[in-house]
Amino acid sequence: MYIGLITVCRMKTVKIAQCLGNCQLPKALRDVYALKRKLLYVVLALFLVQCTSFEKETGTVSKSFKKGNLTFSNVSEAKVPFSEMVTIPAGEFRMGCSPETDPNCEETFDEQLHVVYLDEFQIDKYEVTYERYQRCVEAGVCKKLAVGGACNAEWDGVDHFPVNCVTWYQAKKFCEWEGKRLPTEAEWEKAARGNDLRAYPWGNEFPTPELAVIDKPNGGFLGCGTGNTLNVGSRPKGASPYGAMDMAGNLWEWTADWYGKDYYPNSPRKNPKGPNHGDYKVARGGDFFSRWGYEVRTTGRFPYDAIDFSIAVGFRCAK
């Protein structure tokens, strides 16, 4: 109705303007047309105010175009679901496996405990979903994802599943399209655990399918019994101290860093960004196949080839 009103009003305005400029009409009639034109501007201005109020209430974003002194609403897009971010404050945190909270430390060789300082940053509250990624594809920036097998792309009902079968380079391209970047390994770990050395995002309680999208120790319950990933944010009890969801289970997540087993304990104290080069990128967080707590710890690291993709690896962005 509103679009029709704007179209009709614009047509009448143009005709009146043309007539006022080109037609020889009696002064009284020209005065009447001029008054109608002013009233039209008032009506359209009121409409635009109501439209702005509607957008604030519903979270929509309007694109517009101008015609003379008027602005006309052209496209209205709903706010992208699951695109929220959480803020991680600046400061020091202890990075790495702590024997105080994690008995698995004796079995790790590249998770030595050390202190790191990070500037304030933001990180996606949720893993990137297919709905979000598809917008980048439709914009002509991102490439379509691999399909078939256990890759979820183009299946029905997966809009809010985390993206899998995505290479590191595809993840990087998407984050840049959203005006963001991949988180560093240090940023990811702080967002997942805070500064109290917890073994898992929710604390030190052993992982269960109520806390994370995982399997059970004896198997047979892959992806909390679904055999697949689940919608992002489906396990709110497993949120990190900062409110980030699914940082344990569902999918491993790409980080910006190259993997280096000797770099981790010897990194710069402030804002470490990983080695300058390497053979693999670091993924974090575990996946829906995970059976044991060892696999979904906040300090767990998984080196993976940047040009390869996996049904068990996704990502989230930071800035």
With cut-offs at 50, 70 and 90, classify the pLDDT of residue 81: confident
pLDDT tens column, 279-309: 999 999 999 999 888 889 999 999 999 999 9
Judged against a pLDDT cut of 90, whether residue 226 lies above it is answered with no
One-letter amino acid identity for 106? Answer: E
Buried b (16+ CB within 10 A) or exposed e, 112-128: bbeebebeebbbbbbbb
- State percent of the chain over pLDDT 90: 63
With cut-offs at 50, 70 and 90, classify the pLDDT of residue 217: confident
Task: Determine the Cα–Cα distance for residues 224 and 288; give it in Å rounded to an integer.
Answer: 8
With cut-offs at 50, 70 and 90, classify the pLDDT of residue 107: confident
pLDDT at 268: 95
pLDDT at 240: 98
Of 59-63, 193-197, 199-203, 268-272, the one with minimum mean pLDDT is: 59-63
Average pLDDT over residues 224-253: 93
Judged against a pLDDT cut of 70, whether residue 249 lies above it is answered with yes
pLDDT tens column, 13-60: 333 333 333 344 444 444 543 444 444 334 333 333 333 333 333 333
pLDDT at 170: 98
Class of domain 82-319: alpha beta
Average pLDDT over residues 245-270: 94
pLDDT at 293: 85
Task: Determine the Cα–Cα distance for residues 319 and 303; give it in Å rounded to an integer.
Answer: 23
Higher pLDDT, 135 or 61: 135
pLDDT at 219: 81
pLDDT at 261: 82
Write down the residue that tokens 């005006």 correspond to.
179
With cut-offs at 50, 70 and 90, classify the pLDDT of residue 234: very high
On average, the pLDDT of the chain sits at: 80
With cut-offs at 50, 70 and 90, classify the pLDDT of residue 75: very low
- pTM over 0.95? The answer is no
In the chain, where are the structural domains located?
2-77, 82-319
Most confident of 50-54, 89-93, 225-229, 261-265: 89-93
pLDDT at 44: 32
Judged against a pLDDT cut of 90, whether residue 6 lies above it is answered with no
DSSP letter string, the chain: -HHHHHHHHHHHHHHHHHHHHH----HHHHHHHHHHHHHHHHHHHHHHHHHHHHHHHHT-EEEEEEETTEEEEEEEEPPPTT--EEEE-SEEEEES--TTT-GGGGG-SS---EEEEE--EEEESSPPBHHHHHHHHHTTSSPPPP-BTTB-TT-TT-TTSBP-S--HHHHHHHHHHTT-BPPPHHHHHHHHHTTTT-SBTTBSSPP-TTTSB---TTSS-TTTTTSS---TT--GGG--TT----SSBS-EEEEEEEP-TTTGGGS-SBS----S--S-EEEES--TT--SGGGG-TT--EEE-TT---TTEE---B-
pLDDT at 181: 98
- Specify whether the CB–CB gap between 165 and 311 falls below 8 A: yes
